[in-house]
Chains A and B, each alone.
Chain A
Amino acid sequence: MSTGRASRILSRLWMLLVYAFLFLPIASLVVYSFTDSTVPNVWGGFSLRWYRALTTDTDLKEGLWLSLKIATLTATAAVVLGSLAAASLHRYPRFFGRTLFSGMVSAPLVMPDVIVGLSLLLMLVSLQRLLGVPERGMATIWLGHLLLGMAYATVVIHARLKDLNPQLEEAAQDLGAKPWQVFFLVTLPMTAQALLAAWLLTFTLSLDDVVLSAFLSGPGSTTLPLVIFSRARLGLNPSVNAIATVVVLIVSIGVTIASYLIARQERRRANEMAAAQRFQ
């Protein structure tokens, strides 16, 4: 019995340490965003001066606005393309070039960013020399983010499609639903939470990317991570802590709302399932 107890304590301790490791940096960012000192790892008393400084920091504000725009466009397009790619992989076990297709879908997940960024940039520059478009800027950054986001969206949506019970779609068909009705009334509601998760994931990925943005940005299109990266490179900077806290806040609110919605939907579905079982 005592070895069981000891191993339980040991496992709890291990988990605690890993969680501490994961959350320590975030905690320190938030804590030191409220310091009154100009050195961001010295506590100089509580103050909001770095938040006040944010309101007049046009580089950060413009970067944040541009990043939010790109992230929204990226997430929306990534969910659409990711759904199509996931549906192809799920519904059609055989088609010409399927191996190549599934390889291309998942490769950006692991491919180093510098390679993806360089290759996309060289291609866009060649295109620009031939056609005169596109100019490097918001659109080209969006393209790069979409490539990466689509891979993540496909994985998330594909995983959900595999878990779906195909009998539900068949049942709807047997009851006379047309294919588009099956899709909008059965498939879509059942995958809605995966679509939401994929949207949020690709949104945050885009909001976070440095390398692709650096390759694909042009003059006047400096995203928030590029601003932060250039400051972080030079050393510690309390304004970075303040913007970090704002970003952490935005993301936490988003994730909390999303997980609440997903949990609620899951509960409702479970209740409906239970009710349906009773009728059998």
Chain B
Amino acid sequence: MSIPSGDWKPGLRAAVIGVPFFWLSLFFLLPFLLVLRISLAQMDGALITPLLTLADDALTFRVHLASFVQLATDDLYFATYLVSVKYALVTASACLAVGYPFAYFMARSERRWQPALLMGVMLPFWTSFLLRVYAWKSLLEPNGWVGAPIHALGVDHALAWLGLVPSAEQLMYSPFSLLIGMVYTYLPFMVLPLYATLSRMDLRLIEAAQDLGATPWQAFWRITVPLSRSGIVAGFMLVFIPCVGEYVIPELLGGPETLMIGRVLWDEFFSNNDWPMASAVAVVMILVIIVPLAIFGRNQARAREAS
């Protein structure tokens, strides 16, 4: 932080900050305000009702809350938000359960192997996400590489009993296939921040705890886990937030009972051509994720200061 910024001319400073700032304001902030504005309008033929009208020398300000009223009163919307949050929570928890031990073992393996192990997590991430999700369609078929062992081992009956698949014969187009696809896609987003915090940890703290008589298990829960908190929070939010609005994975792998809010927004816009309704769905979706977003932002800022 001790870079002498005085040597950079003020004009340069204005350009370095100004160009990306202006660009983001124009293409990120402004569109959001527009969504908010359109959510407060109604379709008037192919047009959207204006907020401000000048008629008979009087400026009138008219807000239409019809879209929000419909959102609040139609149970379908509420249920869909609930389903989206539920699957996002389950996905993030499953990613944590699978990813934490994995990141931990990775961070504690020999130093010289770690770049290769990390590369192994990044590589699938570099290959098309769409194609990898599509691949699960064939893997989960009754004769697929994953479907066949599940049927052979009788896991299908357990899944049916848990209500994750409609019947033991069918694994695809169910909550199970949806969750497999989401955990699969978002696992690297959990592993990478966890690995980052776990590999930076001062291992002498564990030694100290053990010298003071802690069992490895106690040392893990009372030293390692609390110290990796920022990684856990970052990973959880990086998985949870985009999952709420996920569209492609439910569309390819989900079934009738996994209708999520991303699909509803999509249909309002593309099928019903109802822009105010689509915007209202988006505004409420932002309200759902704004608290997790704020937690994520604060966590990142704190981690930035700590490093």
A contact set with B: CB distance below 8 Å: 11-12, 14-15, 18-19, 21-26, 28-29, 32, 40-42, 81, 84-85, 87-88, 91-93, 95, 97, 100-101, 103-115, 118-120, 122-123, 126, 143, 147, 150, 162, 166, 169-170, 173, 179, 200-201, 204, 207-208, 210-211, 215, 225, 228-229, 232-233, 235-236, 240, 244, 247-248, 251-252, 255, 259
| Contacting pair A122 B35 (CB below 8 A) | yes
| Contacting pair A208 B266 (CB below 8 A) | no
How far apart are the CA atoms of A228 and B129 in the complex, in Å? 12
| Contacting pair B16 A207 (CB below 8 A) | no
Beyond contacts A105-B24, A204-B127: 6 other A-B pairs, Cβ-Cβ < 8 A, are A84-B17, A106-B297, A114-B245, A114-B262, A229-B252, A240-B134
Residue of A nearest to B239 (CB): A110
Q: Given A112-B262, A112-B285, A244-B128, verify A122-B34 contact (CB < 8 Å).
A: yes
- Nearest CB on B from A225, distance (A): 5
How far apart are the CA atoms of A24 and B244 in the complex, in Å? 26
Number of interface residues of B (CB under 8 A): 87
How far apart are the CA atoms of A91 and B83 in the complex, in Å? 44
| Contacting pair B34 A126 (CB below 8 A) | yes
**Which of B126, B247, B266 makes the CB contact (< 8 A) with A251?**
B126
- Nearest CB on A from B248, distance (A): 5
| Contacting pair A170 B2 (CB below 8 A) | yes
| Contacting pair A112 B184 (CB below 8 A) | no
Chain A residues within 8 Å of B252, by CB? 229, 232-233
| Contacting pair B265 A25 (CB below 8 A) | no
Chain B residues within 8 Å of A40, by CB? 138
Residue of B nearest to A124 (CB): B31
Chain B residues within 8 Å of A207, by CB? 128
How far apart are the CA atoms of A259 and B184 in the complex, in Å? 24
How far apart are the CA atoms of A112 and B123 in the complex, in Å? 23
| Contacting pair A41 B28 (CB below 8 A) | no
Complex interface residues of chain B between 255 and 307 (CB less than 8 A to chain A): 262, 265-266, 269, 275, 278-279, 282, 285-286, 289, 293, 296-297, 300, 307
Complex interface residues of chain B between 217 and 240 (CB less than 8 A to chain A): 237-238
How far apart are the CA atoms of A18 and B131 in the complex, in Å? 19
List the one stretch of B53-61, B73-81, B141-149, B159-167 in contact with chain A.
B141-149
- Nearest CB on A from B223, distance (A): 17
Taking chain A's interface residues, is the majority helix, strand, or loop, or is none over half, making it mixed? helix
Say yes or no for B124: interface residue by CB 8 A criterion: yes
| Contacting pair A112 B23 (CB below 8 A) | no
How far apart are the CA atoms of A235 and B296 in the complex, in Å? 37
Q: Given A25-B132, A25-B135, A110-B293, verify A210-B31 contact (CB < 8 Å).
A: no
Complex interface residues of chain B between 1 and 52 (CB less than 8 A to chain A): 1-5, 7-9, 13, 16-17, 19-21, 23-25, 27-32, 34-35, 38
| Contacting pair B184 A25 (CB below 8 A) | yes
List the one stretch of B64-72, B97-105, B150-158, B201-209 in contact with chain A.
B97-105
| Contacting pair B132 A91 (CB below 8 A) | no
| Contacting pair A29 B297 (CB below 8 A) | no
Q: Given A14-B101, A14-B105, A208-B130, verify A118-B23 contact (CB < 8 Å).
A: no
Chain B residues within 8 Å of A166, by CB? 1-3
| Contacting pair A26 B20 (CB below 8 A) | no
| Contacting pair B127 A115 (CB below 8 A) | no
- Nearest CB on B from A226, distance (A): 10
Complex interface residues of chain B between 163 and 193 (CB less than 8 A to chain A): 184, 187-188
**Which of B105, B124, B138, B296 makes the CB contact (< 8 A) with A22?**
B124
Residue of A nearest to B307 (CB): A162
How far apart are the CA atoms of A24 and B87 in the complex, in Å? 23
How far apart are the CA atoms of A19 and B98 in the complex, in Å? 11
**Which of A42, A118, A200 makes the CB contact (< 8 A) with B279?**
A118
Residue of A nearest to B19 (CB): A84
| Contacting pair A118 B35 (CB below 8 A) | yes
**Which of B121, B247, B248, B300 makes the CB contact (< 8 A) with A106?**
B300
- Nearest CB on B from A198, distance (A): 13
| Contacting pair A255 B123 (CB below 8 A) | yes
